[in-house]
């Protein structure tokens, strides 16, 4: 029974050590699971940053392409504005050359005293009328110049906007270069290949994770599964507490029976000692068995056959007296071993449920990140739509400016053509028949209020032809015709450029470019290469 007591105590101590070890192992496993979830979140953050980096690089290249197109359009418009300005200045110079120079003329009473003829007076009246119309043309020229200055100011504002966007693109390019293009020294083609492989691998992993998240989110309810798993774990924890309390009660009962067994052994030993006869070794007639003396002269293995005979049934009685208690002890040991097995099974089930709960929480976190990514992408799409709307508004404004300048050029060409036609027709007709009509117009007798600049020009040219009768008028008419043809050609070229620009803008809006040429900076080196846009992900 002593050996049984020591083995039971040893098993109980082993049980306590195993329980403490299991608790420490479960704590270590929980710590490892937390680290695993943290590393998974870090990897997801890195993948999100890589996707953001790719999106920013594509947006920067797109903005740069749009900026180049805007710069080209601005150069075309500036060239056209310069051409129109030069044309207007040349037109003004031609008109100034066509008109005779005004000189100071004496008053009418002096002319009468000097004996000036009636024809000279009419010519002077025509010169005054031409001078008045020249002042009106100069005022119109000032108005046109002010409009041109306003248009140049608007062009300056547009240039400032383009510079701001260029600075933003440079900032994004620096961000892209600092974030994704700082690799080791190597050949450019090899590093580009490595970048493409990493991009493809990250894209495949992202697609796989998103596919699993979408499939699991569509086929399962993670919150319901998590709630069910938590309830099952609580039930297992309750069962574990129940079995632990039961094991504690059995251990207490085992200690109680061990104490009772010890007390029974002591009572048995006392009873055997009281029933044993007291014999003197000196007066005994029975021979001694094993009378072997030790170093001190004491006799070892002292006893007789009768005493040994008495001791044998006592040993049998030792096994028979507390028989029911030993059987109970064995039964309790069996129960304890069974409870230990059940306890280990429950601990394994609790560990599995903890793993399932951790996995479900990770999947829920993945779904939440996917939702956040979806919201972020929607916000980016809305911002891109706003920027596209701004670009369309600017394009409409530019088209309006182009239409205005085209209309002004067409009106100027029509005016020059009309004036040239009238001057040419009147230069070929006899001037004697038209002179009284011109005099009447100059004196105001038959002036038409609807007569404009064309009538003034025709009158001036007619008066000059009537007074001079020289080939200079025909040369001026030829100059006007050349100017008219040049303005018509310029207007046709402007209309053609505007139509070509509108067609190109329409094509770009319908089919945006898929390849971009740019510079790739790798450890201080610059490499010119092409980038190709990839198709968007299915969930975008």
pLDDT tens digits for range 6-48 = 777 777 777 766 666 666 767 777 777 787 788 778 878 888 8
Range with top average pLDDT, 96-110, 284-298, 328-342: 328-342
Flag whether pLDDT at 126 surpasses 60: yes
Q: Where are the alpha helices (DSSP H) in 99-117?
A: 108-114
What does the pLDDT read at residue 319?
Answer: 41
Sign of CA pseudo-dihedral 339, 340, 343, 345 = negative
Q: What is the pLDDT of residues 162-202, one digit of tens each?
A: 777 667 677 766 766 665 444 433 445 565 666 667 667 77
pLDDT at 69: 82
C-beta of residue 405 within 8 angstroms of C-beta of residue 150: no
Per-residue CA distances from 469 to 63, 165, 458, 472, 473 (Å): 65, 63, 15, 9, 8
Cα within 13 Å of Cα(442), Cβ side: 24
| The predicted structure's pLDDT at residue 254 | 72
Which residues are registered as beta bridge partners of 300? 292
The answer on pLDDT for 240 being more than 80 is: no
Res 185: pLDDT:
39
- Helix or strand holding residue 56 (H, E): helix 2-98
For tokens 């005493």, name the residue.
Answer: 307
Q: Does residue 81 contact residue 405 with C-beta atoms inside 8 Å?
A: yes
Q: Is the pLDDT of residue 435 over 60?
A: no
Q: How far apart are CA 443 and CA 104, in angstroms?
A: 19
Query: Which range is least confidently modeled, 77-81, 215-219, 310-314, 453-457?
Result: 310-314
- pLDDT for residue 76 is more than 80: yes
pLDDT at 177: 63
CA angle 102, 105, 110 (to 5 degrees): 170
- Alpha carbons 418 and 513: distance in angstroms, whole number: 47
Residues making up the chain, counted from first to last: 540
User: What value does the mean pLDDT take over residues 246-260?
Assistant: 75
| pLDDT computed for residue 115 by the predictor | 45
Give the pLDDT confidence score for residue 176 in this predicted structure: 60
Segment among 95-104, 202-211, 230-239 with least mean pLDDT: 95-104
pLDDT at res. 183: 40
pLDDT score, position 512? 60
The whole-number average pLDDT for the span 114-131 is 61
Answer whether 124's CB lies under 8 Å from 467's CB: no
Could you tell me if 405 and 494 are in contact, meaning their C-beta atoms sit under 8 angstroms apart? yes
Predicted local confidence at residue 526, as pLDDT: 47
Q: Per-residue pLDDT tens for 47-74?
A: 888 788 888 878 778 877 877 887 788 7
Confidence at 442, pLDDT banded by 50, 70, 90 = very low
Determine the pLDDT at residue 424.
56
Burial call 171-182: b when 16+ CB within 10 Å, e when fewer:
ebbeebbeebbe
Check pLDDT > 70 for residue 527.
no
Q: Does the structure show a pLDDT above 80 at 337?
A: no
More confident: 337 or 22: 337
* 205 pLDDT higher than 60: yes
DSSP per-residue letters across 302-369: ---HHHHHHHHHHHHHHHHTTHHHHHHHHHHHHHHHHHHHHHHHHHHHHHHHHHHHHHHHHHHHHHHH
Question: Between 2-98 and 323-428, two packed helices, what is the crossing angle to 10 degrees?
Answer: 0
Query: What pTM, to 2 d.p., does this model score?
Result: 0.24
pLDDT of residue 293: 45
Q: Nearest 10 degrees: CA dihedral of 484, 490, 491, 496?
A: 150
Report the C-alpha gap between 41 and 368 in whole angstroms.
12
What's the pLDDT at 531? 46
Task: Record the tokens describing residue 224, joined without a space.
Answer: 């319901």
Most confident of 304-318, 404-418, 487-501: 487-501
Short-list 435, 441, 431, CA closest to 473: 431
CB-based burial, 471-498: b 16+ in 10 Å, e otherwise? eebeebbeebbebbeebbebbeebeebb
Q: pLDDT at position 212, please? A: 66
Give residue 64's pLDDT.
Answer: 78
Mean local confidence (pLDDT), 342-370 = 76
Task: Give residue 167's pLDDT.
Answer: 74
- Taking 70 as the threshold, does the pLDDT of residue 513 lie above it? no
| H/E element, 525 | strand 525-532
pLDDT single digits (tens) 370-395:
777 777 777 777 777 777 677 777 77
Chain segment 302-321, per-residue pLDDT in tens: 443 444 444 444 444 444 44
Residue 99: what pLDDT? 58
**Per-residue pLDDT for 403 more than 70?**
yes
Q: Directed axis angle between helix 222-275 and helix 323-428, to 10°?
A: 160
Q: How far apart are alpha carbons 225 and 213 in whole angstroms?
A: 15
- Percent of the chain at pLDDT > 70 equals 49
Q: Find the mean pLDDT for residues 131-155.
A: 75
Q: What is residue 186's predicted lDDT score, i.e. its pLDDT?
A: 44
**What pLDDT is stored for residue 277 in this prediction?**
54
Q: 256: which 2 tokens?
A: 């109680």
In terms of Cα–Cα distance, which of 338, 344, 246 is closest to 21? 344
Please check the confidence at residue 538 and state whether its pLDDT lies above 50: no
**CA dihedral defined by 342, 343, 345, 348, rounded to 10 degrees?**
170
Q: Alpha helices of 276-321 — where are they, by DSSP H?
A: 305-320
Question: Mean pLDDT over all residues of the chain?
Answer: 65
Structure tokens at 265: 């052994």
In what helix (H) or strand (E) does residue 436 lie, and over which residues does it extend? helix 431-443
What is the C-alpha to C-alpha distance for residues 312 and 103, in angstroms, rounded to an integer?
A: 167
The pLDDT value recorded for residue 189 is 56
> What is the 8-class DSSP label of residue 516?
E
The model's confidence at residue 441, banded by pLDDT at 50, 70 and 90, is very low
């Amino acid at each position: 029974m002593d050996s049984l007591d020591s083995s039971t105590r040893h098993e109980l101590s082993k049980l306590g050590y195993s329980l403490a070890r299991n608790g420490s192992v479960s704590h270590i496993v929980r710590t490892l699971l937390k680290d695993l979830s943290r590393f998974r979140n870090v990897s997801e953050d890195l993948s999100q940053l890589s996707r953001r980096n790719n999106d920013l690089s594509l947006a920067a290249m797109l903005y740069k392409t749009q900026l180049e197109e805007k710069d080209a359009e601005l150069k075309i418009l500036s060239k056209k504005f310069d051409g129109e300005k030069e044309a207007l200045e040349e037109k003004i110079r031609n008109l100034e050359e066509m008109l005779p120079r005004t000189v100071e003329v004496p008053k009418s009473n002096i002319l009468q005293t000097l004996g000036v003829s009636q024809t000279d007076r009419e010519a002077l009246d025509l010169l005054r009328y031409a001078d008045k119309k020249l002042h009106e043309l100069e005022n119109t020229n000032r108005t046109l110049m002010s409009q041109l200055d306003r248009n140049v100011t608007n062009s300056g504002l547009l240039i400032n906007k383009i510079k701001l966007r260029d600075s933003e693109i440079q900032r994004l390019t620096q961000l892209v270069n600092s974030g994704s293009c700082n690799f080791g020294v190597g050949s450019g083609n090899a590093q580009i290949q490595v970048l493409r492989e990493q991009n493809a691998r990250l894209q495949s992993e992202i697609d796989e994770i998103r596919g699993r998240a979408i499939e699991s989110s569509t086929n399962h309810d993670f919150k319901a599964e998590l709630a069910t798993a938590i309830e099952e774990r609580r039930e297992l924890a309750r069962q574990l507490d129940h079995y632990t309390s039961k094991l504690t009660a059995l251990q207490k009962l085992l200690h109680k029976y061990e104490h009772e067994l010890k007390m029974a052994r002591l009572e048995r030993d006392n009873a055997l000692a009281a029933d044993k006869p007291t014999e003197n070794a000196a007066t005994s007639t029975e021979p001694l068995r094993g009378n072997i003396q030790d170093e001190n002269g004491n006799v070892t293995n002292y006893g007789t056959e009768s005493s040994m005979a008495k001791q044998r049934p006592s040993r049998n009685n030792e096994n028979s007296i507390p028989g029911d208690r030993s059987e109970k002890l064995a039964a309790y040991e069996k129960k304890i071993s069974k409870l230990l097995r059940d306890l280990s099974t429950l601990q394994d089930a609790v560990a599995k449920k903890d793993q399932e709960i951790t996995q479900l929480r990770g999947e829920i976190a993945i779904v939440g990140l996917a939702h956040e990514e979806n919201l972020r992408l929607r916000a980016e799409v809305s911002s891109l739509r706003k920027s596209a709307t701004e670009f369309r508004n600017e394009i409409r404004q530019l088209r309006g400016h182009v239409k205005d300048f085209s209309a002004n050029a067409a009106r100027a060409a029509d005016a020059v053509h009309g004036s040239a036609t009238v001057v040419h027709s009147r230069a070929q007709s006899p001037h004697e028949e038209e002179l009284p009509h011109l005099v009447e117009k100059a004196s105001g007798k038959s002036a038409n209020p609807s007569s404009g600049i064309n009538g003034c020009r025709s009158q001036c040219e007619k008066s000059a032809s009537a007074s001079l009768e020289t080939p200079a008028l025909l040369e001026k008419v030829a100059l006007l015709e050349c100017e008219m043809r040049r303005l018509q050609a310029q207007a046709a070229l402007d209309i053609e450029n505007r139509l070509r620009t509108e067609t190109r803008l329409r094509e770009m809006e319908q089919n945006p470019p898929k390849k971009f040429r740019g510079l790739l900076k790798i450890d201080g080196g610059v490499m010119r290469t092409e980038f190709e846009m990839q198709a968007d992900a299915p969930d975008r």
